[in-house]
């Protein structure tokens, strides 16, 4: 293994003018919140000194009487986000195949970007120079940036852990060795300028030996404290991440250590959907989210996008979800529906005049595109097929969470969850 090197700092960030600069009467509203000119860079001698943002709060507005489901509102500098919510993933500052205006028109309130990928290309300094993520990708709503920990640890044998951080070989880029520390992770997140950023953590796979899980919890907890100390941007919220695999005791240990570090404005739940079954996941997720996590903080189940898992996740108290699944499956010809997953490659759709969803409001269904036509596009590998299915799948998950929220407000989420589960029980792709 070659010598490690840190991600280089290419240039100092350049920021747009401070908020409040006069504009002409016909000027459009700015598409982003400008980064703060007086955002402090300071050294930390110790102690929990992270300045958490006043603009970020979370209100629980309703709780279901029969489950742990709750409806809430996230207040961010770029607008309010009703929960439960699904967040489309724009890994490299784009939801694949879709323009930002399309994603907004689908009903998305908040999107994701990935710190690791943007740090590697084009570099966080360039994004900051261009005005930050919001201005650069033309998205005027809230943005959450993942730490990139999951992507880093997906490098497998090319990863080396230490107390200081993680060294890995960027095999998906130029093959160079990179050392990433919690402090560097926070520096990059602050340059990107997202509304919410995540701590650097260790994400174990499944199955996993308990000794490695314990090490992952210890390192993630230590790195959370270092992220907390290094994080200085006052208009950005830093979330801690609960790890511990499928061991509830380790999950609770991780949670308690985060609570001891400081008053995180929200918590990610990492290390799920890494190879375990649905039942194994919920053996620990259900008590963790429903009984132990703070009531007044949003709970974010990371990297999960299966529709049934979303519905049951809401039932155990999860507020936020993200996943690449709706666009990734779209590119393979798969559509989500209340009938189950539809494989539009299958011959049974060749002469089907129906839309994917009879009552779906997405541009594919409301626009009159038939299953037959999309089948043709997918079979011929036409780009439009993946775009139409991406629009549909993303809208489906956004609508599913909107339906879930309304069921909570109506006090009938238990019935909603049972009806949805029963409808899909035993269904296979067709």
Written as six digits, the tokens of 417 are: 């969850």
Q: Show the CA angle centred on residue 329, arms to residues 246 and 96, nearest 5°.
A: 105
Instruction: Specify whether 64 is catalytic.
Output: no
Residue among 188, 167, 185, 187 at smallest CA distance from 177? 167
Written as six digits, the tokens of 319 are: 């507020």
> Among residues 64, 146, 201, 235, which one is catalytic?
146
Written as six digits, the tokens of 149 are: 């920990």
> Among residues 64, 319, 322, 399, which one is catalytic?
322
User: Using CB atoms within 10 A of its CB, is residue 139 exposed (0-12), middle (13-18) or buried (19+)?
Assistant: buried
| Count of Cβ atoms closer than 10 Å to residue 372 Cβ | 15
Contact 157, 149 (CB under 8 A): no
Residue among 297, 302, 307 at smallest CA distance from 320? 302
Instruction: Specify whether 163 is catalytic.
Output: no
Residue among 203, 262, 221 at smallest CA distance from 48? 262
Which residue blocks in 138-271 are alpha helix, DSSP H?
149-153, 182-192, 210-230, 248-261
How far is C-alpha 2 from the chain's CA centre?
Answer: 33
Written as six digits, the tokens of 413 are: 């989420």
User: Using CB atoms within 10 A of its CB, is residue 176 exposed (0-12), middle (13-18) or buried (19+)?
Assistant: middle
Contact 216, 202 (CB under 8 A): yes
Distances (CA, A) of 231 to 180, 224, 237, 302, 356: 15, 10, 9, 21, 45
Contact 394, 323 (CB under 8 A): no
Question: CA 128 to CA 15: how far, in whole Å?
Answer: 7
If you search the block for the tokens 């709780």, which residue do you land on? 63
- Give me the active site residues, please: 146, 322
């Amino acid at each position: 293994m070659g010598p490690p090197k840190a991600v280089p700092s290419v240039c100092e960030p350049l920021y747009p003018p401070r908020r409040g600069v006069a504009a002409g009467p016909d000027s459009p509203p700015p598409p982003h919140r400008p980064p703060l000119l007086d955002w402090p860079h300071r050294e930390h001698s110790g102690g929990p000194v992270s300045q958490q943002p006043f603009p970020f709060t979370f209100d629980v507005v309703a709780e279901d009487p029969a489950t742990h489901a709750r409806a809430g509102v996230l207040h961010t500098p770029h607008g309010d986000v009703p929960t439960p919510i699904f967040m489309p993933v724009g890994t490299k500052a784009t939801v694949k195949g879709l323009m930002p205006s399309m994603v907004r028109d689908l009903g998305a309130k908040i999107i994701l970007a990935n710190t690791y990928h943007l740090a590697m290309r084009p570099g966080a300094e360039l994004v900051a120079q261009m005005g930050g993520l919001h201005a650069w990708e033309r998205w005027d709503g809230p943005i959450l940036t993942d730490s990139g920990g999951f992507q880093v640890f997906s490098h497998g044998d090319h990863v080396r852990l230490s107390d200081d951080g993680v060294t890995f070989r960027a095999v998906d880029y130029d093959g160079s060795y990179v050392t990433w520390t919690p402090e560097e992770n926070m520096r990059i997140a602050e340059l990107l300028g997202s509304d919410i950023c995540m701590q650097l953590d260790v994400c174990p796979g499944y199955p996993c030996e308990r000794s490695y899980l314990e090490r992952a919890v210890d390192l993630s907890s230590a790195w959370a404290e270092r992220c907390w100390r290094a994080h200085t941007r006052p208009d950005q919220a830093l979330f801690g991440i609960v790890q511990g695999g499928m061991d509830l005791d380790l999950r609770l240990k991780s949670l308690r250590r985060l609570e001891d570090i400081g008053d995180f404005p929200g918590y990610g739940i990492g290390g799920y959907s890494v190879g375990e079954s649905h039942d194994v996941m919920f053996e620990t997720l259900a008590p963790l989210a429903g009984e132990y996590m703070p009531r007044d903080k949003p709970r974010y189940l990371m990297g999960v996008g299966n529709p049934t898992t979303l519905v049951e996740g809401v039932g155990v108290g999860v507020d936020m979800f993200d996943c690449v699944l709706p666009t990734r499956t779209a590119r393979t010809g798969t559509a989500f529906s209340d009938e189950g997953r539809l494989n539009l490659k299958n011959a049974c759709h060749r002469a089907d005049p129906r839309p994917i969803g009879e009552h779906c409001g997405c541009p594919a269904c409301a626009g009159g595109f038939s299953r037959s036509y999309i089948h043709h596009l997918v079979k011929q590998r036409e780009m439009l097929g993946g775009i139409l299915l991406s629009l549909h799948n993303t809208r489906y998950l956004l609508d599913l969470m909107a339906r879930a929220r309304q069921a909570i407000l109506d006090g009938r989420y238990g019935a909603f969850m049972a009806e949805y589960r029963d409808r899909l029980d035993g269904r296979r792709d067709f």
